[in-house]
Structure 1
Amino acid sequence: MALMPKRVKHRKSQRGRIKGNATRGNTVVFGDFGLQSLEPGWIRAQTIEAGRIAAQQYVRGEGTLYIRLFPHRSITSTPLETRMGKGKGEPEAWVAVVKPGTILYELGGVTEQQAKVCFARLASKMPVKVRFVSRRAM
């Protein structure tokens, strides 16, 4: 089932612009390896769920998958072939706003080779360019 917030202050939000790089959520914290975005964009809840399923099928209980993003923003759209001037459309989907540098997923308890293969599967599903990163030695 796709992710969405339980409650929101406002049902409809303006589109806005995604400026700058991620200053929070840009380091691998929970697992050993991560998938980091390289460009700004929106990632739909259905896409996040598709990535989760693909990773869980590959990991099969060996490691742990951490999802580091959540879709807080609603996207509205008007029905097709509707004339102009009837207001803003109804909420259609929920998206997570992603800045360059944001860690999307993390894996722990697997080897680096397994993590690379798993994240290669996830990368093909993502609407933004991503790269493989590992935890920095402290």
Structure 2
Amino acid sequence: MLLQPKKLKYKKFQKSRCIKKENSVTSIKFGNFAIKAIDFGYISAAQLESARIAINRVVKRSGKIWLRVFPNKPITKKPSGVRMGKGKGNVDHWVCCVGSGRILFELGGVKPNLAKNALKYASSKLSIKTTIIGVY
């Protein structure tokens, strides 16, 4: 099940620039290890879900995972072969705008080498450059 909000004020948003540097969620709060974004950009709900499943697969559901981002921005797309005009397309997928320095995933309750392997495998599923940080 992909992540998406239950209710929005507007069904379709305008495209906006993604924030380049994050100010709010830049340090580990819940777990011991985390994936931190180096680059900025959009991450889709499908990428987040596949990264979460990858972490669960490696740690064998032993630790706790915190997802620190949520895809709340709809991206619209018109079908292929449709002429220009005639309004905006339907919602195609959901993304979250991520700035550099943002914590994406946190992981706790597992051994350090297992956590690093899981987060490395999960970061390969994401479309932006990331690094793994830890609090020992």
Query: Aligned partners of 1:61, 1:2: CA distance in 2, in Å?
Result: 19
Query: Aligned partners of 2:57, 2:19: CA distance in 1, in Å?
Result: 35
Runs of 5+ consecutive residues of structure 2 not aligned to the other structure: none
1:86 is the counterpart of 2:83 = no
Identity of aligned residues (%): 36
TM-score normalised over the length of structure 2? 0.95
Query: Aligned partners of 1:7, 1:17: CA distance in 2, in Å?
Result: 23
Match of 1:57 in 2: 57
Deviations, residues 108-136 of structure 1 (Å, cap 9, x unaligned): 0112211110011011100000000113x
Query: Aligned partners of 1:20, 1:38: CA distance in 2, in Å?
Result: 10
Query: Aligned partners of 2:19, 2:47: CA distance in 1, in Å?
Result: 22
- How far residue 58 of structure 1 moved from its aligned partner, in angstroms, is 1.0
Runs of 5+ consecutive residues of structure 1 not aligned to the other structure: none
- Count of residue pairs the alignment pairs up: 136
Say which is worse superposed, 70-79 or 109-118, in terms of deviation: 109-118
SS state at 2:28 partner: coil
SS state at 2:57 partner: helix
SS state at 1:116 partner: helix
Query: Aligned partners of 1:88, 1:20: CA distance in 2, in Å?
Result: 27
Query: Aligned partners of 2:66, 2:44: CA distance in 1, in Å?
Result: 17
Query: Aligned partners of 1:22, 1:62: CA distance in 2, in Å?
Result: 30
Counterparts of 1:1-138 in structure 2, within 5 Å, are: 1-135=1-135
SS state at 1:6 partner: coil
Shift >3 Å, 4+ stretches: none
Q: Is the 8 A contact 2:18 2:42 kept in 1?
A: no
TM-score normalised over the length of structure 1? 0.94
Say which is worse superposed, 73-82 or 111-120, in terms of deviation: 111-120
- How far residue 85 of structure 1 moved from its aligned partner, in angstroms, is 1.1
Query: Aligned partners of 1:51, 1:124: CA distance in 2, in Å?
Result: 8
Query: Aligned partners of 1:75, 1:19: CA distance in 2, in Å?
Result: 17
